[in-house]
A and B are shown apart, each in its own frame.
Chain A
Amino acid sequence: MNTQLRRRIASAALIIGFFVAWELLCRMFGIKDIVLPRPSEILITLWIRLPAIMPHAAQTLYATLVGFALGIVFGVLLGALVGSSRLAYDVAYPLLIGFSSIPKVAVVPIFVLWFGAGTVPAVLTAMILCIFPIVVNVATGLATTEPELEDVMRALKASKLDILVNVGLPRAMPYFFASLKVAVTQAFVGTVIAETVASNRGIGNLMMIASSSFDVPLVFAGLLVLAVLGVGLYVIFSFIEVRVTGWALRKDEFALG
């Protein structure tokens, strides 16, 4: 408990120290706003422009969450399919790797071509960016299920579905949640990319416009908003992870709760 508290304090101190050092260095070397604005300026900009930033932040959050949700649904389905048999795993893996190595920025214009600029390409880009880690992790979790655990079920004449629901999926949960933490930040990346390329709303679009008019503090304010949103979602999923997969960490708090 004590060491945990100390670590938290150290972690908070590092974050504050980072911004203080940034502020001090900018002042010492007289760096101009247009190159690198000071944190204090960014915060002031954020505060003053907040009413203008909020709708954009809401749009980005909305597109990200929808894309993320779709990514989870299709990712888990695909992962279950790929991970449920050795054959499917071996056959589908090369194709998955191929898809995942395509730079996702290159796909955005195609989505725009199909669906027009706006929310849909952002949602889809967020989805395809976050789907890969989910598929791979769920598939790996299922594929590495101990054969003895399956034998227990097979000796009871359990159906494939019974085995998947009672052994495979719970066994894959720690892998799934580990992937969610990566996937949720990836989903943000996807949304912002799409907004930057083809949208008239969202933080990505806001930053594009701000940078083309050399409003650098606003660009950084956008970055700050993205960072806060990303950290927020990460924290939420970490919290759920501990509640659901505490058994994998052998945590006593899990056993009590």
Chain B
Amino acid sequence: MMSTAFDVSFAAVRPAKPTLSSPPEPSHGDAFVKLEKVALTYGRDEHRVHALDATDLSIEKGDFVALVGPSGCGKSTILKLVTGLLHATRGYVFVGGREVGAEPIRVGMAFQNPTLLPWLKLRENVMLPLKIVPPFRQDYRAKRKTEFRDRIEALLEQVGLKGFSDKYPWQLSGGMLQRASLCRALVHEPQLLMLDEPFGALDQFTREELWSIMQSLWMARRPTVLLVTHDLKEATYLANRICVMQARPGRIISESIVSFPRPRTIAMSYDPEFAALTQRLRELIFDTRPSTTEAQQ
């Protein structure tokens, strides 16, 4: 029972106030993340690119949503809009009930590249959010050698990196760095977790192992997750809901609910129902590509 072990290790360091790890109340109507007619254009005049065209999307608190679609369809753009790294040209982005940035929401983010800081040891890298994000920031000096340190060791152990916390990023393999990157995205107990193809550059075995780790981490703490991926099997394995996107202009064209029970296993991905779902998603994506005729055959 991985999730239970995780819960216990965190119980000691958790603040007294209500936390995110407890399963959220089913909220009706008030979505945690809401995009209303959001459009985004880059560039000017003839170089203008419609990255995203009048998109609506709403995500309940504690939900796990995957965005799939062809490259250049604006998947990462949505992620950046919700994080506040980009600003919408038109429309509104709401996070936590208010316009993005207004409500202090803790956000964790993991990218396709591990983007660890090469001058910091693994432990210090994972600790970085605790140094920046309130309320941990205030206690950083006092707790970084005690409570925070234990917390990071526990988290690293959870993803299979026990004993590597004193290594520098360049001493580790790509898979290990990506695990550490996930830890960094989770260490400050984010309410919102943004995953931008975090498993894209990994080999098959590492990827599947990390899916399972990701699932148990999510089940234990229930952050709201938005996962961008081009791997349909990954989306089906991890997400509660899959949004398929179209490119040029980018927009969401279909949504599918994934109702397989959790915890899901890799064996389940060979289930005919599972295969049928990924196949349907694949067709949807192929149909939207304007220049592909072979997809119809």
Decide: A158 near B168, CB < 8 A? Known: A170-B117, A247-B118: no
Residue of A155, A157, A250 with highest tally of chain B CB at under 10 A: A155
Note all chain B residues with C-beta closer than 8 A to A171. Answer: 119
Could you mark each residue 143-166 of chain A with 1 if its beta carbon is under 8 Å from any beta carbon of chain B, else 0? 000101101111111100010001
Q: Note all chain B residues with C-beta closer than 8 A to A151.
A: 85, 109, 111, 115
Chain B residue nearest to A174 in the complex (CB): B119
In the complex, how many angstroms separate the beta carbon of B57 from the nearest chain A beta carbon?
19
A252 to chain B, nearest CB (A): 8
Closest to B167 in A: A255
Of the candidates A166, A245, A255, the one whose C-beta lies within 8 Å of that of B171 is: A255
Kindly identify which residue among B113, B117, B194 contacts A155, using a CB–CB cutoff of 8 Å.
B194
Q: For residue A152, which residues in chain B have a CB less than 8 angstroms away from its CB? A: 109, 111, 115, 128, 184
Task: Evaluate whether A155 and B85 lie within 8 angstroms (CB atoms) in the complex, with A166-B128, A167-B117, A247-B119 already known.
Answer: yes
- Which of the segments B1-9, B129-137, B243-251 contacts the partner chain? B129-137
Tell me whether B236 is interfacial, beta carbon within 8 Å: no
Within 8 A of A (CB), among B76-118: 83-85, 104, 107-109, 111, 113, 115, 117-118
| A251 and B184 alpha carbons, distance in the complex (Å) | 25
Least Cβ distance of A138 to chain B in Å?
Answer: 16
For residue A197, CB closer than 8 A to chain B, the reply is no
Within 8 Å of chain B (Cβ to Cβ): is A248? yes
In the complex, what's the smallest C-beta–C-beta distance from B28 to chain A, in angstroms? 29
> Which of the residues B132, B133, B167, B188 comes within 8 Å of A166, measured between beta carbons?
B132
Residues 160-188 (chain B) with a chain A CB within 8 angstroms: 167-168, 170-171, 184, 188
> What 1/0 flags go to A223-257 for Cβ under 8 Å of B?
00000000000000000000001011010101100
Q: Which residues of B contact A146 (CB under 8 A)?
A: 115
Docked CA distance A157–B95 (Å): 14
Q: In the complex the two chains form, is A247's CB within 8 Å of B85's CB?
A: no
A162, B85: Cα distance in complex, Å: 16
Q: Which residue of B lies closest to A255 (CB)?
A: B168
A173 proximal to B (CB < 8 A): yes
A148 touching B132 by the CB < 8 A rule?
Answer: no
Contact A155 B168 (CB under 8 A): no
- Report whether A247 and B109 are in contact in the complex, using a CB–CB cutoff of 8 Å: no
Describe A's contact surface by its main secondary structure.
helix
Is the pair A155, B83 in contact by a Cβ cutoff of 8 Å?
A: yes
Nearest residue (CB) in B for A149 is B115
Given contacts A149-B117, A155-B194, A156-B133, whether A250 and B170 have CB atoms under 8 Å apart is yes
Given known contacts A157-B107, A255-B167, is B118 in contact with A166 (CB within 8 Å)?
no
Q: A148-B111, A151-B109 are in contact. Are A157 and B133 (CB under 8 A)?
A: yes
A253 to chain B, nearest CB (A): 12
What is the CB-to-nearest-CB distance from B181 to chain A, in angstroms, rounded to a whole number? 9
Residues of chain A within 8 A of B194, CB atoms compared = 155
Residues of A within 8 A of B107 (CB): 155-157
Return the chain B residue nearest A159 by Cβ: B132
Contact A247 B129 (CB under 8 A): no
Residues A248 and B118 in contact, CB atoms below 8 Å apart? yes
Instruction: Report the Cα distance A255→B264, complex, angstroms.
Output: 40
Chain A hits for B128, CB < 8 A? 152, 156, 166
A148 to B119, CA, bound (A): 16
Q: Cβ of B108: which chain A residues have Cβ within 8 Å of it? A: 155
Contacts of B119 in A (CB 8 A): 170-171, 173, 245, 247-248
Which residues of the partner chain B approach A148 to less than 8 Å between Cβ atoms? 111, 113, 115
Write the residues of chain B forming the contact surface with A, with a CB cutoff of 8 angstroms: 83-85, 104, 107-109, 111, 113, 115, 117-119, 128-129, 131-133, 167-168, 170-171, 184, 188, 194
Name A residues whose Cβ lies closer than 8 Å to a Cβ of B. 146, 148-149, 151-158, 162, 166-167, 170-171, 173, 245, 247-248, 250, 252, 254-255
Q: List 13 A-B contacts (CB under 8 A).
A: A146-B115, A152-B111, A154-B85, A155-B85, A156-B107, A157-B107, A162-B132, A166-B128, A166-B131, A247-B118, A247-B119, A247-B168, A254-B168
Question: 5 shortest A-B CB distances, which residue pairs?
Answer: A155-B109, A247-B119, A148-B115, A156-B132, A158-B132
